[in-house]
Structure 1
Amino acid sequence: MRAAISILAAALACLPNAAFAKSYVTPAMHARVAAGLDDLLKMKFDAAESEFAALEKLNPEHPYAGFGRTSVAWMRYIYENEQSDQSLLKPFEERVRATITTAERWIAKRPDDAEAWMAHGAASGIYGRLLVTRRRYVKGYFTARRAMKSIHKALEIDPDLEDAKLGIGMYDYYTDVYPHFIGALAKLVLGGNRARGIATLREVAAKGRYSKWSAKMLLVEIYNHDPFGAADPKQAVAIMKEVRAAYPESSILHSAELVSLYNAGRFDEAAAGAREFVRRVETGRYLPIEKAKGYGILGHALWAQGKAAEAVDAFTTGAAVELKGALSRWAVWGLIRAGNALETMGKRGAAMDFYARAKNQPDHWGYRKLAVRWLSKPFFENGPPYSMVPSHK
């Protein structure tokens, strides 16, 4: 969940502000971009694909349509399949390359187009996010650094390009934070600045047009998880209330609100919300794969309330959710958390069975080493409440 909000924000960061000093994007194109952005936030990927395909017909030479379709491919991999279906990676990477090529052709003829420079940088940036998600941290960093060259060029042309400032804020914050947790980056001088990044994101959240939602979601992630003094779960709850009022049918935003409630210590509300989340899955309002997420959130809320046995039941129910015959991401995490909860009940023998099952699953998410850790030694973690985010340290 920690990565989920920033990934979504990265996918949306390039979408344009309609009031640039000089723009090659027509009002009709802006309308398609706005509609596609709304569909992405609502998790309506087919509709978003249609909007960006229509945008491409309006101007097939401009890179916005390509980046929009790249964002759809990214979101399908991250959210629709929880990074389970590896066959989706190839079409995503193909769209990244196609967008970069389109942007370079456009920029060669129109080097004064700030939006095109931003699209060029955003395509590399979203690929960098993929690499980080797949734990290829060094290559991900250098890919993101190359992306920033184009983003800075966009801002050189148009200093008021708020969407580009969003990318700068993300880069400043994460290149300061990641080296503290990722050994492969610890010896690199990345040049980030957490405080400056947060300040930039706050500016975009206040002044941005389309990018304001992305900035708000990134601030929610920071307020939920920042380990260096910026954490403020109560503020995350307040922001998510605003975001969900605008997009009440978005499952990813719903789950982000529940995580914020949990981190703010509002366990009763998190549990009630998780049950509603599961009902929405069961009635077809949310994707079937998201049932494991709903039960995962419910399990953590119950565990924090001192109801470890009920938490085990919730985690176990979620751990049965499959995608194409294999356990989903949250299902595997449910296996590990069921084992952890059992250990807090003094039932290590039963917990070992859950860890063994998790260990034998495909390791798309880096969870196997967590299962191996708890197979080799008794569970210990600061809590309750226990983090809803897996720790890979």
Structure 2
Amino acid sequence: MEQNFKILNRLFLSAAFLISGAQGVLSQEPLAAGSTDEDKIQIDEQLPLAGLQISSSPLTLGPELDAKYDKGIAFMYRLEFDKAEEEFREIVRMSSASPAGYFALSALSWWRCAQNFDVSVASSAYEEEFMHHVDETAKAAEAMLKKKISPDQAYFFMGSAYGLKGRWYAVQRKWFRAYIYGNRARKMLRKCVKLNPNIYDAYLGLGIFDYFADTLPGILSVPALLFVHGDRMRGLEEVRLARDKGRFFSVEARIFLIEILTRHEKDFNQAVAEAKVLRETDPGNPFLWLGEIMAYIHSQDWSRAFDESLKFLAANAGAENPWLAQQLSLVYLSAGDSKLALNQPQEAAAWFTQGIENTAYPDKGWISYCYLRRAQAFGLLGRKEEAVKDYKTALNRVNFWDSHLYAKKGLKKAPDFKEIYRQLIEE
């Protein structure tokens, strides 16, 4: 599978991914003779904002609703989803005309699904409720626009909801749909900041678009044809602006920044620094701790990654929260990967075994990789029969990432340490 899809859960279990696309561009009137591509962009970005009030007020829902939003978001990042849902539904109850609560529920559905993206049926289980909440967000925002009530916030929540819908389709590799809703999101968010440049959370979606539109040519084939262009440096600055000044999305902005620093910019030191700062915002949050571990993995600081994995398992091995318990196999895998990268296959195999035996969620894709990596460790140890058995087990499970590809290759020829290390840092 494409590398950009692989990052979705391996780094922070979230796909901070917003592609921007197409429908509004396709419906434009014909250009005048002699118009250039640049003219096309300018025409597309003329915003029909006449009669709407320009504002410089910071984003707020009011003191009581802001507090509930903050509380719900904190629960969501702690993977305490039922508690988060209570807060978000209370926002809907208290302010049913606002899109804010509906959007929060959309994000919650996204996050619930994201924790099990390595299980093939995960997205379908949440798709109906996710789409329902996105539609409710858009309806509430449209009603606000018709009444000219807080149009900056209406565009913000509508754009954010469409962006999330684009991310949903991107995870499923339905690129054109992702493109359609992503561009719709981009236009709404541009209208938002045109009306009120102090809604800093809107710059996250704009930054994601600008960055990926400039750096992911494989996904850009359709946007490029429609004269939609990005700007890598502008995207980074927009994401940093949301991180530093965003009211509700600052954590999400930092998560996305860590992703691009790690997977695209290859600035591992800065990624680790950002991950540490993020964890310090809520030191008891296991999700943020897991994010720090992933940053060490990607920066190839194997000893630190193993030490933190060990501490994490000691603190959370008996986790009662099912959403957290579902991620423990990833931590066992990370511990084993770290030992394998340090060329300690005996210890690595033991950690992969613990991941397999200790999980209450055997369908997780991380378990498939525990079998695959244990087979590779056994191969380095010369334990061929055990390696073959694990390769065959990996093949009999649902394919996750390239588990089938490497299992087949392993059965034909056991990889040496150099090849295993390449897989650890590149796949």
- TM-score normalised by length of structure 2: 0.78
1:198: which partner in 2?
A: 236
For 2:352, the aligned partner's letter is F
The offset of 1:381, in angstroms, is: 9.0
Please give the alpha-carbon distance, in whole angstroms, between the structure 1 residues aligned to 2:346 and 2:291: 25
| Relative contact order, higher structure (CA 8 A, sep 6+) | 2
Query: Aligned match of 2:198 in 152, 155, 160?
Result: 160
> Residue 14 of structure 2: SS of its match in structure 1?
helix
RMSD: 3.2
| Distance verdict in 2 for CA 1:10–1:162, change over 3 Å | farther
1:130: which partner in 2?
A: 168
Please give the alpha-carbon distance, in whole angstroms, between the structure 2 residues aligned to 1:302 and 1:112: 54
Deviations 1:76-118 (A, max 9, x none): 1112675553422322222222222222223222265212211
Please give the alpha-carbon distance, in whole angstroms, between the structure 2 residues aligned to 1:190 and 1:339: 46
- Quick check: 1:3 aligned with 2:40? no
Preserved contact between residue 2 and residue 389 of structure 1 (Cα < 8 Å)? no
Give the paired residue count. Answer: 379
1:249: which partner in 2?
A: 284
| Distance verdict in 2 for CA 1:271–1:159, change over 3 Å | same
> Residue 327 of structure 1: SS of its match in structure 2?
coil
Please give the alpha-carbon distance, in whole angstroms, between the structure 2 residues aligned to 1:212 and 1:221: 14
> Residue 201 of structure 2: SS of its match in structure 1?
helix
Preserved contact between residue 321 and residue 328 of structure 1 (Cα < 8 Å)? no
Could you tell me which runs of 5 or more consecutive residues in structure 2 were left unpaired when the two chains were aligned. Answer: 1-5, 19-54
> Which range is displaced more, 334-343 or 80-89?
80-89
Preserved contact between residue 272 and residue 296 of structure 2 (Cα < 8 Å)? yes
Could you tell me which runs of 5 or more consecutive residues in structure 1 were left unpaired when the two chains were aligned. Answer: 12-18
Q: How does 1:60-139 map to 2 (within 5 A)?
A: 60-79=96-115, 82-83=118-119, 85=122, 86-110=124-148, 112-139=150-177
| Distance verdict in 2 for CA 1:54–1:300, change over 3 Å | same
1:15: which partner in 2?
A: none
> Which range is displaced more, 260-269 or 232-241?
260-269
Q: How does 1:193-272 map to 2 (within 5 A)?
A: 193-226=231-264, 230-272=265-307
Please give the alpha-carbon distance, in whole angstroms, between the structure 1 residues aligned to 2:423 and 2:228: 28
Preserved contact between residue 13 and residue 114 of structure 2 (Cα < 8 Å)? no
- Quick check: 1:311 aligned with 2:316? no
- Quick check: 1:275 aligned with 2:315? no
Larger radius of gyration: 2
The offset of 1:20, in angstroms, is: 5.4
Preserved contact between residue 69 and residue 91 of structure 2 (Cα < 8 Å)? yes
For 2:88, the aligned partner's letter is F
The offset of 1:316, in angstroms, is: 3.1
Please give the alpha-carbon distance, in whole angstroms, between the structure 2 residues aligned to 1:314 and 1:162: 43
> Residue 21 of structure 1: SS of its match in structure 2?
coil
- TM-score normalised by length of structure 1: 0.84
